Amino acid sequence: MSVGHRIRSLDGLRGISIAAVLIGHLAGTRNSPVSTATAHFWALAELGVRVFFVLSGFLITGLLLAELSQNNTIQLGRFYFRRTLRIFPAYYAFMSVLVVTAACGAIQLMPGDVWHAATYTSNYHSDRSWFFGHTWSLSVEEQFYLLWPALLLLTGRRRGFIIAAAVVVACPILRLVEWESLRLHADGIGERFETVADAMAIGCVLAGLRPYLHQYTRYRRFLGSALFLAIPLVGLAGNLTHDHPLVHFGIGMTVANIAVALGLDWCVTFSDGRVGRVLNCAPLVYIGGLSYSLYLWQQPFLNRASTATVAAFPFNIVGVVCCAIAAHYLVERPSLRLRHRLESRSRSSVTHVAAETIQAPSGA
């Protein structure tokens, strides 16, 4: 969901991912053309979120590595400043609307909903209302943003990627341990950070290894061969194990994560091909640009338990799209323009100070 410099095909992938989430949550709502059984079988919402996680790891790591290469350091303050103005305004605007709506009696929230959502700890608050149900994934992403840049700065590139690879190995073990020993809290497996961080870690590892992988002729041949068509099928098979916890937690999620990462690499590498042209077409790119606001605002409307007209198809989809567009242009865009102005002002100040220092007399 980054802005500014964009990697070809990724907005299209975002567009497809948010569509999967919307279809998955649309199922079971009144008059929905998608049945609950179909959505459950394919686990579309889970698959869409998985792609977002891998994308986040890949994109954020790419930005951090570029900064490390250029400046030999990572300016954590600048990173957190940019993330704050990218994420917080739209998120807290959404929260504020829900709080006001609940105060008016139109919706009912669960105890702890607001506190956990406000502190990005919803992934450790399993007894949350539907309206804040999706904030678990946003909490996971925010925890990743807090941890990974600092870890990469403190440990260095090589050790940082060793740790990321260790997370990929450790998370399936943790999922199985929690399933066997914390059965009463099993609903949180795949939401708590320690049980889902491997999806982002896979993206991190891809960003670090991609330049080296593409030096190998065999890997490049594999990406471009017909055999690669098996990768999406294998990933889908891994995602379809969700009704078998031991298989899903132990290997299914990992297989799906790796397949998504390889698919991501393929889409970026062949962005000028037929699939690339689809991913980079204007409508899909536009939907990808709206993905953050779409993800935020889909929850109140795509509510299977609601009998309200705005929660029935097609009014629910119209409501999601209208609110997302409004949030994108009234909140997201202005906050990004503000970020740009503040960054430009900061750069100008630094340049001005540097010029004065150079021009100052030696005895000053």
Predicted confidence at residue 349, as pLDDT, reads 58
Residue 364 belongs to some domain of the structure: no
DSSP labels, 175-187: HHHHHHH-GGGGG
DSSP letter for 105, please. Answer: T
Predicted confidence at residue 269, as pLDDT, reads 95
Q: What is the pLDDT of residues 310-347, one digit of tens each?
A: 999 999 999 999 999 999 999 999 999 999 999 888 77
Report yes or no: 172 and 249 within 8 Å, Cβ to Cβ: yes
Residue 68 belongs to some domain of the structure: yes
Residue 293 belongs to some domain of the structure: yes
Residue 362 belongs to some domain of the structure: no
Residue 305 belongs to some domain of the structure: yes
Residue 62 structural domain: 10-357
Residue 152 belongs to some domain of the structure: yes
Predicted confidence at residue 184, as pLDDT, reads 76
- Could you say which residues of the chain have pLDDT below 50? 1-4, 351-364
Residue 5 belongs to some domain of the structure: no
Find out whether the peptide bond into 211 is cis, omega within 30 degrees of 0. no
What are the helix (H) ranges across the chain? 10-26, 36-42, 44-71, 76-103, 113-118, 135-181, 193-213, 217-224, 230-239, 245-247, 253-269, 274-279, 282-289, 291-301, 315-327, 333-359
Predicted confidence at residue 324, as pLDDT, reads 98
Report yes or no: 31 and 312 within 8 Å, Cβ to Cβ: yes
Task: End-to-end CA distance of the chain: give it in Å, rounded.
Answer: 48
What is the chain's Cα-based Rg? 22
Report yes or no: 35 and 27 within 8 Å, Cβ to Cβ: yes
Report yes or no: 278 and 12 within 8 Å, Cβ to Cβ: yes
Give me the amino acid identity at 81. Answer: F
Question: What's the rounded Cα separation, in Å, for the pair 78 and 319?
Answer: 35
Residue 2 belongs to some domain of the structure: no
Number of domains in the chain: 1
Report yes or no: 262 and 219 within 8 Å, Cβ to Cβ: no
Predicted confidence at residue 351, as pLDDT, reads 47
